[in-house]
Structures are given as C-alpha cells and as structure tokens.
C-alpha cells in the first residue's frame, strides 16, 4: 500500500490524539481543526505571517486569524482570509468544515482548480474566491449549495462553459453572482426550467459568452445590476426583458455585437422599454453594431439616469432637444457615430453634466453659447465634426473645465481672451480649424495646462507670446502650420516639463536659441519650414533626452556634428539649408582652411594662456590635496573612498562633452575611468539651482548611505563642496532600461525573458525600500531611465533625488510633510508615470510608486511611452491598454514575438513553446500592469505582493514547464467599481 498524503496522516493523528484526551464530545471541533491544519499545509506563501496564530499551541482554533466560531456550538462558521497575499492551492480538506457559512479567500494568489469537494458545504451562504489565479472549469458540484446567496468567482482564469447547475440548483437563494473577468464560453445557462428569481447582481463581463440575452432573465424581477460587457453576445437589444426589471439601476451591454430592432434600424422599442424604470442610473451600449436614428423618445428615458453611453456605434440623425429632460445626467457620450445636425442649445438645462463626448460625428452649425452655463462641466469634446462659427466666450464661465477639445472642425474667428479664465484647464486643442489672429497672452499664460496645447493647422499670426513660459507643467506644445512670425523667445526654457515642441511651417526668423539644451525632458523638436538663421547651437547636442529633431528648410549655416543628440539627425532633418555642413551622411562636408592671418592670431593667444594654465594647475594640485575639508554634514558620518576633485576631472576628460551620458534638471552625469581602471559615473549637481539642489543632494546622500540591496545602486563616494557637489557611482555598462526599450539606432529587439528578470529585480529593490529598509523610502520617480543594468543585466534602481524618507508607519514623511508639488513646483515624478492622486494634491506614497511600476510594465509590452499615448491617444497608458482588453491584445503578443530574440531558449524547448512562453509573459505583464495602475490607490497591490508575483513569473520563465500560466488571454484583477472614467 502506498504512503498516505501527509495532510491525511496529520488529520488522523490529531483526531486520535484529541479524542484520547478529551473524549468524543469535542470530536467535531478537532476534526475541523485538523482540516484547517491540512489547508495550511497547502499554503506555500504567507508573506504577512497571517497564519502565525495557526501554529501556536496556546491559541484556541476559534481565535485563529480569519476564523470565527459559533458561540453556542463552538463550531467554525466563518473562514475569512481575504487580501492576505496567500499563495498555494485550496485544499479539499475545507469540505470538512460542515458548519461553515462564510468562505472568503478572495484577493490572494491561489492557483490550481476549485476543489469539487467544496460542494459538500451545504450550510455555506457566502463563497468568494474573487481575484486569485484559479483555473480550469467550475465544478458542477458547486450547484449543491442550498443556502448560498453570494457567489463571487470573478477575476480568475476559469474557463469552459458556466455549469447550468450553478444557476439552476441554487437559484432559489442566489442574490449576487460575479463570474466576470474570466474565460467562460458558451451561452448564459438560463431557460424556463432554470431561473434566477432572487438575483440582484449578475456580473458576467469580460468573458467569451455567445448567444443572446436569455428570455428566462425576465423572471429575475429583483435585478438591480446586470453587466454583460465585453463578451461576444449578439441579437437584438433585450427590450422584451427589460420592463420586468423594475428595480434595475445599472445595465452594461457595451462591446458586444448587439443590434437594434427592425433589421438594425429602430432604437425606439428598446428606449421605450426603459422609460418606467424609476431607479435606473447607467446605460452603456458602446462598441456594438447598433444602427438606426436617434429617437426623439430618448427624452423619455428615466430622469434618474446619470450616465448614457452610446458611443462607437452606427447611430445617425440629430440630437433631439428632448434629451434635456435627462436633468440628472453627469456623462453624455455619443462619440464615433454618424449623428448630424445642430447641437441643441437646450443642453444647458442638464446642469449636472460633467462630461460631454460628441466627437467624430457629422455635427454642424455653431457651438451653442448656452454650454457655458453648465457649471460643472469638466470635459467638452466636440472634435472631428463640421462645426463652424466662433468659439463662444461663455466657456470662460466653466471654472471646472479641464479638457477642451474642439479640433478637426471649421471654427473661425480668434481665440477668445476669456479662455484665459479657465484656470483649471489641462488640455486645450483647437487644431485643424480656421482660427486667425494672434495667440492671446491670457491664453498663453494658462499655467494650469499640464498635458498639451495644440493650436496647429490654423491661420494664426503674430509673434510667439512670452507668456508661454508660464506653462511650466505642459507636456507638449504644437503651434505648427500657422503664420506665426518673429523670434523664438528664450523664455521657453521655463517650460521645464516640455517633451514635445513643434513650431514647424511658420514664418519664424532669427537665430535658434540654445534654450532647448536646458529642457531636461525634451524628446522631440521640430522647427522645420521657417526662416531661422545662424548656426544650430552645439549645446543642443548635450541633451540626453532629445531623440527627434527637424531643422529642415530654414536658412541655417555652419557645421553640425554627429555627436550626442545630433546623432539622431539625418539628411532629411537638414534639407533646404544650403549653407550647412558636417559629418551627417547626405550633407556636404566641412573643408577647413587655415589662413596665415589665423596663425598670427593664435600665437599671442597661446603665449597669453600659458600663465593661466600654470595657475590652473597649481589650483588643481591644491584641490587634489584636500578638496573635502568643508564637506557637507550629510557625509561626515560615513567612510567613503576618498577621490579628489582632480581625479574626477582626469577620469572624465575634464567633464568633456564626449563623457556626458545624461543630463536633467538637477545636473549632468559623466562617465569616467579612474587610474586603477575603475569605471565610474559622476553625477554632478548644478549649483545654479541651489535651492532645489541642496535638498535633492541631501536626500540622495541620506538614502544611498542607509539602504543596501543588490537591486539598489551603491555609492562609491560623495564629493561635496560649496561650489561643487557630486555623487560617484559605479558605471553600469549596459546603461538604462530606457536605452534598451528605445535604442538609438536600429529596431528594438526586446528580450521578454530578460525583461521579466529585470522587472523582478526592480520589484525586489522597491519592495526593500517600501517594507524592509531601515529608513522606509518612497522613490517618487520610478521609470525606465532610472533603472540601470549591470554587467549581467541585473537591474539597479537609482536616482533618489526626489524621494521621500518615511517613518515606519509609512503615513508620515521624515522632515516636513509638505507635498512635493508645493515644495518643488512639480508633480511628484515624471509625467506619464505620476499616480493620478498626486494631481489632486495627495502626498507621495508607496501606492504612487506601485502605479509608476505598473506604467513601466505596460510600457514594456506596448512599446509606447506613456507620454506618447497621452498626446496621440488623449489618455493614460492604463486606459489605452484597458480599451484593448480583453479581446484585442493579440497585436501586443505578436509584436513581442516578432521582436523577441529566439536564442533565449535555443536548444532547450521548441520555437512554438518559446512563443507560448512569450505570450504568457506579455499577458502576465498586462494583468499586473493594469492591477498596479488602478485609479484607486487602496486597490493596488503592495510592492511586496508585486515582487512575489514577479518572482513567480521569473521562476516560470527559468523553467517554463514548472508551473501553469494562462496561454489564451489576460484576466485583469480590476473590480467593476474601479472602472469609472476619470478626468484626473
């Protein structure tokens, strides 16, 4: 006979031992205790030591964490271990808890299948396994529950058809069912013999369900919330069923293949079916195949409605004025249809409106000035229509307006000065219209703009207003394709967050200012097709962020190098400048001719410089003997290798441009080699911004000397004098992660397996900072450029210059508690990676770092910078990926497979298996990335949880056959209540 499993042996031993001592009267309790011990033996990960009390012989089982007993019978009636980050499998031994009424194992990392033995828990009333990694099919035996009223299996990896027994056998008691965010297929298993009479909440979104909405749902007269979004359901809208749901409040049918009545020509029957639902609030029908004219009866929809989504369909006709009857509507979305006619002025009666989406339609006429009377409007998107006339002055009354999108119309006249009163405006896009006149100084001075200003493709004229320099937080400015003239004001260097600047196709003249070298985040610069003259400032080549440049069709002269940022130049970037020369392939070479008069001029200059060189050498020798005698108090208590200023000068070639490897707002980073061949990176802080630098330097010193971890950058020494402050760090030979995601030349070839290990390293380093470091740290600026790679591609987190040291309770900051925005004039971090709550004035937090990590993961799999998505898609990277989820992710997978280096598994597994592994990696990255970037900070995992999940993924890619991961589709752990659109 084979060996019995350890859990069974333990169960028998405990039962015999307990009965021998206490007699039979307590046998049920000892049986249940043994079952829990068996369950504990299947737990492989307990990072929070939740089960510590379970191991103590002095703690009664009814006092174990998560356990609650009936006071009268001393039987276990509740097991709640939700949100404990437990990993492992769910043991069938739980079926021995015969009196159990509540079983909640949600928001953990349980894998494997749901044990069919759980169906023996006939007293169970609540079962929640939400947000785990459970797979396989749902056992039909779970339909044995007679008293169950709450069932939540959402956000797992469950597949197959939904067992009919799940809806039929226990239908008399079920009130809440959540099977969403899985991979269930087949039809919804309801018919005349199988009904859900007591159901209130039925959530089946994000699956692979097919067929029509079953007529048997008309028996569910208590239904309040029905969510069938993101499936493959079809047929006519359920107008025959809806009137039976008198309690209905939320109906989500978006992103299916529903059509309207009468061969997809009539929406009226469905709208009429809703009119008597007095409690109805939200209707979502977006992304279907709905056709027909927008009926006038839309005004008969329940006045209680707060949101109406009809976007991305084939609806035509004009907007009926009767829509103004929906006075409680906060969101109206008709975008991407074929709606024509005028915008009804009666919209002003909808005083609670916060967001209006009417873009990508055929609307014409003028924008009604009455829109300016809707006091709570925060977003107005009327783009891509045929609107004409002037921009109403009344927009100035919208004090809460954050996004105004009017591009792609036929608007004329001038930009209203009154727009300058929209003090909360973050995006202003008036491009592709017929607007003329000058850019008003009042609008140019909108310091609130922090995403983009787009006035391109209009008929604007006059100079660039100096007030543009007040847009310190704007990400992109596009003024191209106008008739602007005059010089480019050097004051634009105050736009320190600027990443994209397009001034092309205007009549700008004069020299090109060197200000662009001072912009720490500038990535793209286009000044083509103007009348700019003089030389292209060589200082621009020192920019470490510039990747796209266009100087073509101007009147530039002189030489252009191919170093630094100029290495990205091509002949097409310089076309139409006949007097330019240099080593860029395709343009004329510079021929040096030295005249005799030049030699005569050089002789006195050389003779005059000799005494200065001698004096400089003596000063260097003096500094080399003791350049740290007045070092900062932050460095006195740490013993670092003493490297003199002279040694740093020699190692970096006098801090030459050839040694420059990076620059930012606070200074530059140079590479160098010491006399003992030690390769170093010297981070010099720019003392010209002394107010910011002192704090930044002290913080970085304080953090680097108190934290030690294999995935955090270590410090070699600190050089701190009044006029010179530098950190000396080891040179990372493989550069930053950003360099590998966006290489300088050639196509990116992202090794996904290697990226898993890199992200795992980053998560480990961040988990140390958040949870284990002697001084807890919030990094505040986690992004690919701040991840450095060692010789073996081990990732090290660096650049703690804006970090926050926090006390052990993680709720207070060491030092002052002012927010970063108030002390530095910037949001906490880099645009695109900043957690949305920071924009609302919240303090820096570990949850903000988790958000940045999630953005980085989504950036890796999409191959797109978050700032690019903000500008071109008008949304965050989270929203961009979520729109593709769950049925449009294949292009991300295909892209990763194409760009993957197949040598990673060469000779170990087949190419097909390797592609499967890459697919699983991409889907896991999307899953975790979306989870980390949820809008609500409280719903994001901790960095410790993230590190654990990344560690599991790293183990899997190291041995792909060791543990199962999904191969079909991502299942994102995002609750339905976290999916609301936001202006932030």
Cα 119 to Cα 147: distance, rounded to the nearest angstrom: 12
Residue 651 CB contacts under 8 Å (≥ 6 apart), including other chains: 672, 673, 674, 675, 680, 682
Of 949, 984, 835, nearest to 108 by C-alpha is 949
CA dihedral 490, 494, 500, 504 (to 10 degrees): -20
878-883 contact pairs (CB < 8 A, 24+)? 878/854, 878/929, 878/930, 878/933, 878/934, 881/926, 881/929, 881/930, 882/930, 882/972, 882/974, 882/979
Q: What three-state secondary structure class fits 81?
A: coil
Token readout for 553 is: 């069709």
Residue 516 CB contacts under 8 Å (≥ 6 apart), including other chains: 501, 522, 525, 537, 540, 543, 546
683 annotated ligand binder:
yes
E strand spans, 86-146: 87-89, 102-104, 109-111, 126-128, 135-136
Token readout for 334 is: 């008709």
Cα 573 to Cα 585: distance, rounded to the nearest angstrom: 11
Token readout for 558 is: 């002189």
Of 348, 313, 305, nearest to 330 by C-alpha is 305
Cα 206 to Cα 178: distance, rounded to the nearest angstrom: 11
Strands 776-778 and 531-534, by their bridges, are: unpaired
- Contact assessment for residue 614 and residue 593, using Cβ atoms and an 8 Å cutoff: no
Measure Cα distances from 578 to 337, 534, 574 in Å.
49, 12, 9
Token readout for 545 is: 């962020």
Residue with tokens 């609130």: 448
Q: Max Cα separation, the chain?
A: 115
User: Which residues carry out catalysis?
Assistant: 781
Measure Cα distances from 704 to 766, 780, 852 in Å.
14, 15, 21
List, as residue ranges, the binding site for ATP. Answer: 683
List, as residue ranges, the binding site. Answer: 683
């Amino acid at each position: 006979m084979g060996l019995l499993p350890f859990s069974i042996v333990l169960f028998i031993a405990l039962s015999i031992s307990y009965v021998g001592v206490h007699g039979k009267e307590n046998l049920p309790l000892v049986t249940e205790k043994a079952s829990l011990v068996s369950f504990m033996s299947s737990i492989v990960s307990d990072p929070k030591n939740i089960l510590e009390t379970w191991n103590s012989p002095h703690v009664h089982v009814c006092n174990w964490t998560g356990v609650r007993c009936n006071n009268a019978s001393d039987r276990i009636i509740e097991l709640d271990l939700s949100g404990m980050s437990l990993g492992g499998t769910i043991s069938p031994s739980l079926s021995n808890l015969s009196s159990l009424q509540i079983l909640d194992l949600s928001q953990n990392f349980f894998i494997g299948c749901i044990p069919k033995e759980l169906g023996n828990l006939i007293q169970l009333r609540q079962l929640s396994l939400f947000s785990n990694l459970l797979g396989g099919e749902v056992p039909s035996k779970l339909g044995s529950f007679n008293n169950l009223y709450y069932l939540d299996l959402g956000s797992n990896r469950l597949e197959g058809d939904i067992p009919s027994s799940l809806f039929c056998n226990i239908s008399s008691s079920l009130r809440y069912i959540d099977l969403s965010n899985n991979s269930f297929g087949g039809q919804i298993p309801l018919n005349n013999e199988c009904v859900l009479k007591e159901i209130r909440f039925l959530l089946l979104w994000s699956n692979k369900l097919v067929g029509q909405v079953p007529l048997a749902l008309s028996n569910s007269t208590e239904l309040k919330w029905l969510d069938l979004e993101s499936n493959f359901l079809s047929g006519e809208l359920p107008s025959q069923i809806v009137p039976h749901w008198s309690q209905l409040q939320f109906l989500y049918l978006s992103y299916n293949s529903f059509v309207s009545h009468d061969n997809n020509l009539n929406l009226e029957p469905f709208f009429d079916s809703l009119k008597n639902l007095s409690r109805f609030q939200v209707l979502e029908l977006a992304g279907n195949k709905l056709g027909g004219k927008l009926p006038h009866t839309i005004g008969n929809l329940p006045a209680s409605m707060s949101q109406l989504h009809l976007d991305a369909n084939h609806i035509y006709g004009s907007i009926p004025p009767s829509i103004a009857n929906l006075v409680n509507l906060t969101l109206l979305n008709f975008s991407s249809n074929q709606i024509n006619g005028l915008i009804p002025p009666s919209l002003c009666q909808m005083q609670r409106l916060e967001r209006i989406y009417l873009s990508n339609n055929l609307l014409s006429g003028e924008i009604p000035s009455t829109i300016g009377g809707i006091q709570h409007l925060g977003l107005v998107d009327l783009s891509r229509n045929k609107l004409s006339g002037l921009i109403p002055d009344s927009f100035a009354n919208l004090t809460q307006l954050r996004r105004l999108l009017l591009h792609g119309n036929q608007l004329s006249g001038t930009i209203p000065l009154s727009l300058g009163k929209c003090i909360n405006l973050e995006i202003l896009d008036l491009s592709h219209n017929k607007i003329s006149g000058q850019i008003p100084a009042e609008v140019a001075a909108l310091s609130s703009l922090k995403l983009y200003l787009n006035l391109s493709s209009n008929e604007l004229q006059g100079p660039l207003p100096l007030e543009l320099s007040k847009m310190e937080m704007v990400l992109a400015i596009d003024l191209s394709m106008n008739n602007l003239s005059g010089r480019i004001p050097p004051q634009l260097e105050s736009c320190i967050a600027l990443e994209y600047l397009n001034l092309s196709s205007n009549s700008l003249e004069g020299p090109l200012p060197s200000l662009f070298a001072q912009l720490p985040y500038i990535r793209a610069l286009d000044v083509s097709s103007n009348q700019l003259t003089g030389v292209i400032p060589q200082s621009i080549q020192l920019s470490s962020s510039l990747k796209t440049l266009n100087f073509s069709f101007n009147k530039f002269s002189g030489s252009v190098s191919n170093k630094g940022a100029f290495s990205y130049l091509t002949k097409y970037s310089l076309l139409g400048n006949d007097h330019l020369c240099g080593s860029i392939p395709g343009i004329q070479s510079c021929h040096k001719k030295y005249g005799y008069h030049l030699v005569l001029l050089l002789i006195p200059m050389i003779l005059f410089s000799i005494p200065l060189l001698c004096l400089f050498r003596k000063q260097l020798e003096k500094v080399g003997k003791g350049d740290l005698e007045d070092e900062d108090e932050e460095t006195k208590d740490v013993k670092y290798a003493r490297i003199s200023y002279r040694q740093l000068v020699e190692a970096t070639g006098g801090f030459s441009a050839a040694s420059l490897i990076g620059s930012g707002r606070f200074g530059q980073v140079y590479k160098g080699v010491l006399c003992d061949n030690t390769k170093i990176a010297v981070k010099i802080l720019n003392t010209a911004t002394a107010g910011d630098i002192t704090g930044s330097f002290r913080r970085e010193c304080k953090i680097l000397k108190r934290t030690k971890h294999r995935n955090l950058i270590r410090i070699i020494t600190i050089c701190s004098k009044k006029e010179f402050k530098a950190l000396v760090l080891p040179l990372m030979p493989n550069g930053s992660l950003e360099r590998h995601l966006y290489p300088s030349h050639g196509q990116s070839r992202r090794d996904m397996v290697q990226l898993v290990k890199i992200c795992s390293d980053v998560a480990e380093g961040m988990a140390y900072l958040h949870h284990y470091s002697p001084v807890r740290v919030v990094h505040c600026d986690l992004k690919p450029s701040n991840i450095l790679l060692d010789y073996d591609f081990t990732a090290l987190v660096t650049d703690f210059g804006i970090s926050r040291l926090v006390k052990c309770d993680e709720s207070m900051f060491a030092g002052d508690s002012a927010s970063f925005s108030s002390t530095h004039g910037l949001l906490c971090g880099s645009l695109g990676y900043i957690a949305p709550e920071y924009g609302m004035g919240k303090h820096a937090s570990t949850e903000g770092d988790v958000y940045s990590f999630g953005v980085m993961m989504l950036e890796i799999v999409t191959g797109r910078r978050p700032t690019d998505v903000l500008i071109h898609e008008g949304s965050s990277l989270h929203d961009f990926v979520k729109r593709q989820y769950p049925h449009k992710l294949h292009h991300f997978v295909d892209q990763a497979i194409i760009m993957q280096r197949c040598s990673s598994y060469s000779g170990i597994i087949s190419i097909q298996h390797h592609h499967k592994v890459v697919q699983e990696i991409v889907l896991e990255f999307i899953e975790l990335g979306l989870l980390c970037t949820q809008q609500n900070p409280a719903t994001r995992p901790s960095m410790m949880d993230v590190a654990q999940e990344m560690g599991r993924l790293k183990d899997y890619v190291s041995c792909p056959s060791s543990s199962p991961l999904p191969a079909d589709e991502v299942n994102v752990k995002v609750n339905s209540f976290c999916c609301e659109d936001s202006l932030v």
